[in-house]
Amino acid sequence: MIEQAKDPVLEIHDLTVSYDRKPVLWDVDLTLPAGQLIGIVGPNGAGKSTLIKSIMGLTPNSSGYVKLFDKNLKDVRGKISYVPQKESVDWDFPASVLDVVLMGRYGKLGLFKRPRKADKDVAMDALRKVGMEAYINRQISQLSGGQQQRVFLARALAQQADLYFMDEPFAGVDAATEKAIITLLREMSARGNTVVVVHHDLQSVTQYFDWVIMLNMRLIASGPTEKVFNTELLQETYGGKLTLLSDVGELIRRERFPSREQKRKKELKQKK
């Protein structure tokens, strides 16, 4: 079930991505609405990170096209921010928390220019938002996993972008921090920013996201959470792998979502 957004911030058309000629994403075709908090779910190896990477132009072999704000990536890079999966860097690197967050300003600075006071202020502000202002001079290897995650988040915030892609920002983060971060992301989307988050915890999907993308090599669903986050589509996304499935079904019902029958009817109507 793929619902198209009006005035999309992101439009993906027939995207196929392969590694070593082996496609890992097939024919993804979707649009995303502005100003929403959007979740991407799917099992390990489903291609969630790959989807984000290819939107950011980081995968070499892809066909189809991606439009951001109706433009090509290179014309709107300044408006887009990216939080890679935390494991993608060496945290033993001799850099301080502030060094890393300042990297968020590099794109705006351009070639040869050094970060100035104003950039430092933005970086400090971002650190305050994620509750890491006490750690600015700490070397990054001396942070806990959750703190490292928050530094990455602060770096993205320092970019002051309009559209954010975050690859598992909640991995290894404790419950309190997760709450704080999700509140922050909510505020951002309330201000009109679009935030796309790869997420693994299905229990919290209905609570967190306005819009959900379900992925398993193919695009299974993309649409408003209450419309697409249902047992059938989850079944289709996770196959037999999901033991939690019945619990999720339970959860969906408890959240007083429209019953499955009604949903069926609606879908049938839309198909017509």
Ligand X SMILES: Nc1ncnc2c1ncn2[C@@H]1O[C@H](COP(=O)(O)OP(=O)(O)OP(=O)(O)O)[C@@H](O)[C@H]1O
Residues near Mg ion (CB under 5 A) are 49
Contacts for 240-248: CB closer than 8 Å, 24+ residues apart: 241/43, 242/43, 242/202, 244/202, 244/203, 247/203, 248/202, 248/203
CB closer to ligand X out of 48 and 155: 48
Nearer to other proteins, 59 or 206 (CB): 59
112 lies in the binding site for other proteins (CB under 8 A): yes
Helix (H, G, I), strand (E, B) or coil at 29: strand
For residue 215, which phi and psi values (nearest 5 degrees)? Answer: -135, 135
In the list 82, 170, 208, 238, the residue contacting other proteins (rule: CB under 8 A) is: 82
Of 38, 43, 17, 36, the C-alpha closest to 28 is 17
Residue 24: contacted member of other proteins, ligand X, Mg ion, none (CB under 5 to 8 Å, by partner type): ligand X
Q: Report the residue from 107, 121, 128, 246 that binds other proteins according to the rule CB under 8 A.
A: 107
Would you tell me how many other CB atoms lie within 10 Å of the CB of residue 61? Answer: 14
Give dist(CA 48, CA 208) in Å, integer. 18
Using the contact rule CB under 6 A, the part of the chain among 38-46, 70-78, 98-106, 221-229 near ligand X is 38-46
Using rule CB under 8 A, residue 88 touches other proteins: yes
216 Cβ contact partners less than 8 Å away, ≥ 6 residues apart: 42, 43, 46, 47, 236, 237, 238, 239
Let me know: does 166 contact 156? Beta carbons within 8 Å.
Answer: yes
Please identify, using beta-carbon distances, which residue of 29 and 133 lies nearer to ligand X. Answer: 29
Among other proteins, Mg ion, ligand X, none, residue 177 binds (CB under 5-8 Å by kind): none
Q: Alpha-carbon distance 38 to 231, whole Å? A: 19
Binding residue count for ligand X, defined by CB under 6 A? 10
Interface with other proteins by CB under 8 A: which range of 22-30, 96-104, 245-253, 254-262? 96-104
In the complex, the smallest distance separating the C-beta of residue 25 from ligand X, rounded to whole angstroms, is: 8
Question: Where do contacts with ligand X occur on this chain (CB under 6 A)?
Answer: 19, 24, 42, 44-50
